[in-house]
Structure 1
């Protein structure tokens, strides 16, 4: 699940780059109606920030694995110690039974602790990916809104230039008629 979310984030970044590359061009100047360098720089900054969150998730998983490994080693050592003690006191059945129960209890406790650490690391990684995903969605929406505002501005300016040109054309026709 974590990898899928991180993959989605990477996909969103690719889509953002495609949006920049496929930006609408103005028919007057042939230029893209967004600042391509600024947008690509924004994508690069997002990519630079992304590995920190992902690295933290990887670190948490590695730490969880280390803790699990250490807990298993410790549990193994405890079981071995209990076996050795049981061998030394084989004639005392009650002590042997107590040692087995204690070893089993310690192993179960270690397993439960490892499960809780594992759950916590997964939840943290999911929260981190969810936060990054939301941040990227918000950024994409903001970029989209800015592009729409810019296109609207350019369209209004073109309409105004066209109207001015028509008005000048009519003034020229009027002058020609008056000159006749």
Structure 2
């Protein structure tokens, strides 16, 4: 079912629900509202799911990179401990550990930036679509309200004219 139709249906439920006197509130069927909201969630565009996946993937990649950096760090420390008697080997191991950590940090940063850019792109596109759809919905509501206002005004004018004519007839009958 189309999200717009579900939102219209939700609005109809609110409009047609029993009113609580003197409060401006209405009583609604909780189960029915929750079902409609669930359907709306089910029918949301794939970009929401993509954005969630991107966020989760970013967290996974960052955790994996940190674990890998920690693992590499531990491995290098063990190597250093075993070769501590040889000063040149110790220096080499320290340099290699620093290179590996630096490389892992660069890789993590690149992954984090890539995930952030992708998430930003997806969320920006989603924001544009939501804004466009919101504007379309607001324009439709405005058009409907203007049409309703015009028809209501015409009805009032017609009814007022009929009442005036009836008053004139009644005055003429009394004469």
Confirm or deny a common fold (TM above 0.5).
yes
How many residue pairs match? The answer is 142
Aligned equivalents of 2:164, 2:153: Cα separation in 1: 16
Q: Which residue of 2 aligns with 1:133?
A: 123
**CA shift for structure 1 position 135:** 3.4
Runs of 4+ in 1 over 3 A off after TM superposition: 36-40, 46-50, 166-178
Unaligned runs of 5+ in 1: 1-19, 87-95
User: What do residues 70-97 of structure 1 show as CA deviations (whole Å, max 9, x unaligned)?
Assistant: 21133123313422xx3xxxxxxxxx34
1:17-166 superposed matches below 5 A: 30=15, 37=36, 41=40, 45=44, 48-83=49-84, 86=85, 96-165=86-155
User: What do residues 87-142 of structure 1 show as CA deviations (whole Å, max 9, x unaligned)?
Assistant: xxxxxxxxx34212211221121121122122123213422442343234223312
- CA-based RMSD: 3.9
CA contact (8 A) 2:51 2:119 kept: no
Could you state the TM-score of these two structures normalised by the residue count of structure 1? 0.57
Could you state the TM-score of these two structures normalised by the residue count of structure 2? 0.58
1:168-179 superposed matches below 5 A: 168-169=158-159, 172=162
Q: Say which structure, 1 or 2, has more relative contact order (CA 8 Å, 6+ apart).
A: 1
**CA shift for structure 1 position 67:** 1.5
CA contact (8 A) 1:75 1:110 kept: no
Unaligned runs of 5+ in 2: 1-6, 17-32
